[in-house]
């Protein structure tokens, strides 16, 4: 815990402060709309409005792909309907000191000597450039727990066929490629030569944001289900790399054809994508919060009136609806039926995998079967590998068809049959197990469904994407910005991989965060109690340091009953907790922030508390060595890390200084299985990995300046979850070795 009482006082004032009108051009009050898991636990969501006040000089607006022309005439008309209002928003934001970045993808040649383009190129490289920031991002973890709300595999054009043909003839007569007709940004959007930036590069835009110390990003433009979400500067990249990003929901549009599932009108399809974003990606705002009036509505615009209605597919194709299934399926007959079973998913394939032959392995196949499955990648057929053992078919993927460091479409056609094992994508020593959600359909008309009319990253949603894990030490924002209070602390992981942390949504709660990052309020603590450190016992119960009431609480996860395990009035506050190898005995740090002093306590299985050390500095992060013989504790203000020997009786002896740091505070601390210490550097924005002797092995940035605590979890206990106060969120990264617990 770092200065929690001060933070709590600040947090109480936030709603009033955010509701105030902006002072000059320095701040703007905004209402962020998001969605949270419903408290009844049935998997539903509730819409939540959150008031914030943004410093405009720390804010950027990115205008995504507002092109001069598009291959869909209806898309052009819808854009032209809202572009004048978007230009008003940009003018007002610019006047107030907001950085404006124009990002018309694929148009940089046109702007090569434009001052705004030159300005973008001149931005110095950021000290920390996120991993894969120049790549398209087709999904973040939270999205893959939901179902993408529309089918956009046909490209999303909703134009009348005759009007579309006439439009493409017009584009060709203009000397433009009817499929890729854009060359510049729309002239309806003003580019200020003296202030604005032009770039479609993720790293260039990140450099701009870093140089100008931007913390808040607003995405506008088109199309919300494709480019606004997926571009290297889009919502997903900004969200997972720690920016406080929002979508301006009424200054965008979708590429969606109502002839495709879920067979709703175009504007309803757009609304459903926005709802998906609010649930899984980031909050949204609206243009009226910047320029007044009412939220802009596209319904009833010229685009709707002249479109001629949605493009209708033949009835047989309309009924060929792709559905989600789990592979391997949960029931043996899940994929039974007549005709051909078609399966498809997407896979993100790293460039370095292509140094080896890439293949898809399908277990449970017999080479003697009269009809074999057929495999395609990005529409190109794969070839069966001769000599594969019975029970395993292997298909070599054509290298020229693979998009490296990008999303690739994998399609399989086979007779309907039981699938009992997962498929595997393999390249040399690397492999990607394709176990999870796929799309499937049963076709009785011998159709060819092996390809899409556009690249997979545009056509397939995030719910069937498979991707390798990020490299070690790459920080990613796990939960949405702002879901916790400034008291976020105390992460701990249960046997199912859920992360528990205090003060979710409001003070005095404990939040539960699923491994995919979806979060909810788990329990409300008793009135007046506020939690800090959390540790799990063997039976699944967990202990919570209740620092305001001098308690250690015990929570029963199944019943959610909360009892006082230990109460000790002589404590300043129980802060962080460490659990001894017997899984019953707790050690607690106990700082007195006002006096700059601290104590250490042992809490025995019966709840009795024994003071083990006094007269220390501000004791904070605490943990025990893997052999159970050493207790480590750090002092936040004094920046010391101490070690004690734990006696058989549970007392402490042989106090010794491990290391003193010259700057920045400390907070939470954990040991890995080798005894190395991981310590959050509050104010520096890193987690330091240090040997038991005090040698610094590395420092990992955690997307904000104020990491408050951390814990191990995830697969093989090698994922580190960090509670981060700047973003009021949980950040994660993978480590090389498992945690102690």
CATH of 476-734, one of 3.90.1300.10, 2.120.10.30, 3.40.350.10, 1.10.10.10: 2.120.10.30
Token couple for 347 = 């896979």
pLDDT mean over 421-439: 93
49 beta partners: 33
| pLDDT for 309 | 38
Residue 78 to residue 252: CA distance in whole angstroms = 9
User: According to the model, what pLDDT value does residue 300 have?
Assistant: 59
Tell which CATH classification among 2.60.120.380, 3.90.1150.10, 2.60.120.260, 3.40.50.2300 matches the domain 317-466: 2.60.120.260
Domain boundaries, the chain: 31-44+54-294, 317-466, 476-734
Pairwise CA distance, residues 616 & 596, whole Å: 9
Q: Judging by DSSP bridges, how do beta strands 380-381 and 484-493 pair with one another?
A: unpaired
pLDDT for residue 21:
39
pLDDT for the residue numbered 145:
87
Res. 392: pLDDT tops 90: no
Q: What is the pLDDT of residue 417?
A: 79
Name the band, by pLDDT with cuts 50, 70 and 90, for residue 586.
very high
SS3 10: helix
Q: So what's the pLDDT on residue 388?
A: 67
Cα–Cα distance between 448 and 317 in angstroms, integer?
A: 11
**pLDDT tens digits for 589-636?**
999 999 999 999 999 999 999 999 999 999 999 999 999 999 999 999
Reported confidence tier of residue 9, pLDDT bands at 50, 70, 90:
very low
State how far the Cα of 175 lies from the Cα of 181, in Å rounded to an integer: 9
So what's the pLDDT on residue 553? 98
Between 281-290, 354-363, 383-392, 567-576, the lowest mean confidence (pLDDT) is in 383-392
Stretch 472-490: mean pLDDT = 97
Task: Look at strands 358-363 and 374-377 and give their pairing.
Answer: unpaired
DSSP reduced 3-state for 649: coil
Q: What is the mean pLDDT of residues 114-121?
A: 98
Please determine, for residue 24, whether its predicted confidence score (pLDDT) is greater than 60: no
| Residues 218 and 59: beta-carbon distance below 8 Å | yes
Tokens of 436: 């999870």
Indicate the helix (H) or strand (E) that contains 240. Answer: helix 235-240
CATH class of the domain whose range is 31-44+54-294: alpha beta
Distance CA 442, CA 450 (A): 13
With a pLDDT cut of 90, the percent of the chain lying above it is 84
Q: Return the number of other C-beta atoms located less than 10 Å from residue 94's C-beta.
A: 17
Per-residue pLDDT for 571 more than 50?
yes
Question: pLDDT confidence of 332, banded at 50, 70, 90?
Answer: low
pLDDT at 581 over 80: yes
**Dihedral sign for Cα atoms in the order 272, 219, 16, 478:** positive
pLDDT at 303: 37
Which tokens hold the place of 278?
């609010």
Report pLDDT for 12: 36
The string of DSSP letters for 254-287 reads: ----TTSTT---HHHHHHHHHHHHHHHT--EE-T
User: Does 59 have pLDDT greater than 80?
Assistant: yes
Predicted pLDDT of residue 641: 98
So what's the pLDDT on residue 500? Answer: 98
440-452 pLDDT, tens per residue?
Answer: 999 888 889 999 9
* pLDDT value, residue 548: 96
Q: What percent of the chain stands above pLDDT 70?
A: 92
Within the chain, how many helices (H) and strands (E) appear?
A: 12, 44
Q: What stretches of 578-662 show up as alpha helix (H) in DSSP?
A: none
Compute the average pLDDT of residues 729-740: 97
Does pLDDT of 272 surpass 50? yes
Supply the pLDDT for residue 337: 75
pLDDT, residue 320, reads 64
How many Cα atoms sit within 13 Å of 218 on the Cβ side? 32
538-566 confidence digits (pLDDT tens): 899 999 999 999 999 999 999 999 999 99
Burial class (CB in 10 A: 0-12, 13-18, 19+), 542: buried
Which pLDDT does position 40 carry in this prediction?
A: 73
How far CA 474 is from CA of 119, 209, 667, 683, in Å, comes to 29, 19, 21, 20
Q: How many CB atoms lie within 10 A of CB 364?
A: 14
The pLDDT mean for the chain works out to: 91
């Amino acid at each position: 815990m770092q200065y929690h009482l001060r933070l709590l006082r600040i947090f109480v004032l936030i709603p009033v402060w955010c509701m105030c009108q902006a002072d000059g051009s320095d701040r703007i009050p905004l209402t962020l709309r998001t969605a949270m898991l419903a408290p009844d636990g049935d998997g539903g969501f509730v819409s939540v409005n959150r008031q914030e006040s943004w410093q405009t000089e720390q804010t950027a607006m990115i205008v995504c792909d507002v092109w001069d022309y598009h291959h869909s005439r209806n898309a052009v008309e819808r854009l032209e309907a809202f572009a004048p209002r978007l230009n008003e928003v940009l003018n007002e934001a610019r006047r107030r000191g907001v950085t404006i970045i124009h990002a018309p993808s694929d148009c940089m040649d046109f702007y090569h000597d434009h001052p705004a383009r030159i300005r973008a190129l001149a931005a110095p490289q950021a000290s920390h450039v996120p991993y894969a920031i120049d790549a398209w991002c087709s999904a973040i973890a939270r999205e893959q727990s939901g179902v993408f709300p529309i089918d956009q595999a046909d490209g999303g054009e909703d134009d009348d066929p005759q009007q579309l043909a006439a439009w493409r003839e017009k584009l060709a007569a203009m000397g433009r490629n009817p499929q890729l007709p854009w060359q510049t940004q729309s002239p309806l959007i003003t580019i200020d030569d003296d202030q604005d930036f032009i770039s479609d590069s993720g790293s260039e835009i990140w450099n701009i944001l870093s140089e100008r110390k931007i913390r808040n990003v607003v995405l506008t433009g088109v199309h919300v289900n494709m480019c606004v979400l997926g571009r290297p500067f889009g919502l997903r990249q900004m969200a997972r790399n720690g920016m406080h990003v929002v979508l301006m929901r009424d200054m965008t549009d979708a590429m969606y054809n109502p002839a495709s599932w879920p067979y709703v009108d175009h504007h309803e399809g757009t609304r459903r994508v926005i709802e998906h974003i609010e649930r899984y990606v980031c909050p949204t705002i609206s243009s009226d919060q910047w320029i007044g009036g009412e939220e802009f509505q596209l319904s009833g615009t010229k685009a709707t009136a002249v479109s001629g209605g949605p493009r209708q597919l033949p009835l047989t194709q309309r009924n060929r609806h792709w559905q989600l299934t789990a592979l391997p399926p949960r029931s043996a007959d899940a994929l039974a039926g007549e005709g051909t079973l078609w399966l498809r998913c997407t896979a993100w394939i790293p460039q370095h995998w292509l140094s080896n032959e890439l293949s898809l392995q399908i277990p449970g196949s017999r080479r003697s079967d009269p009809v074999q499955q057929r495999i395609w990648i990005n529409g190109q057929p794969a070839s069966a590998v001769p000599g594969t053992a019975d029970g395993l078919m292997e298909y070599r993927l054509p290298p020229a068809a693979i998009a490296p460091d990008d999303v690739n479409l994998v399609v399989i056609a086979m007779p309907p049959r039981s699938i009992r094992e997962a498929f595997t994508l393999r390249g040399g020593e690397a492999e990607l197990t394709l176990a999870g959600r796929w799309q499937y359909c049963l076709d009785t008309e011998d159709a060819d469904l092996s390809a899409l009319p556009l690249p997979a990253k545009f056509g397939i949603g995030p719910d069937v994407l498979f991707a390798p894990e990020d490299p070690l030490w790459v920080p990613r924002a796990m939960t949405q910005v702002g879901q916790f209070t400034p008291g976020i602390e105390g992460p701990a992981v249960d046997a199912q991989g859920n992360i528990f942390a205090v003060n979710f949504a409001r003070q005095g709660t404990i939040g539960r965060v699923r491994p995919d990052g979806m979060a909810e309020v788990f329990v409300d603590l008793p009135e007046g109690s506020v939690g800090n450190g959390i540790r799990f016992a063997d039976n699944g119960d967990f202990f919570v340091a209740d620092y305001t009431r001098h308690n250690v609480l015990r929570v029963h996860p199944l019943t959610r009953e909360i009892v006082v395990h230990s109460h000790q009035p002589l404590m300043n506050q129980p802060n962080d907790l460490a659990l001894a190898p017997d899984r019953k005995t707790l050690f607690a740090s106990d700082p007195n922030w006002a006096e700059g002093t601290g104590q250490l306590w042992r809490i025995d299985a019966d709840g009795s508390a024994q003071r083990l050390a006094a007269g220390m500095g501000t004791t904070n992060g605490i943990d025990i060595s893997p052999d159970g013989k050493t207790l480590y504790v750090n002092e936040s203000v004094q920046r010391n890390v101490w070690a004690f020997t734990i006696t058989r009786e549970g007392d402490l002896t042989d106090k010794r200084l491990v290391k003193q740091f010259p700057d920045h505070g400390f907070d939470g601390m954990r040991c890995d299985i080798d005894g190395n210490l991981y310590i959050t550097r509050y104010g520096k924005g890193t987690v330091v990995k240090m040997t038991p002797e005090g040698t610094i092995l590395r420092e990992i940035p955690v997307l904000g300046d104020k990491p408050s605590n951390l814990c191990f979890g995830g697969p093989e206990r090698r994922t580190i979850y960090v509670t981060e106060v700047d973003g009021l969120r949980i950040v994660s990264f993978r480590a090389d070795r498992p945690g102690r617990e």
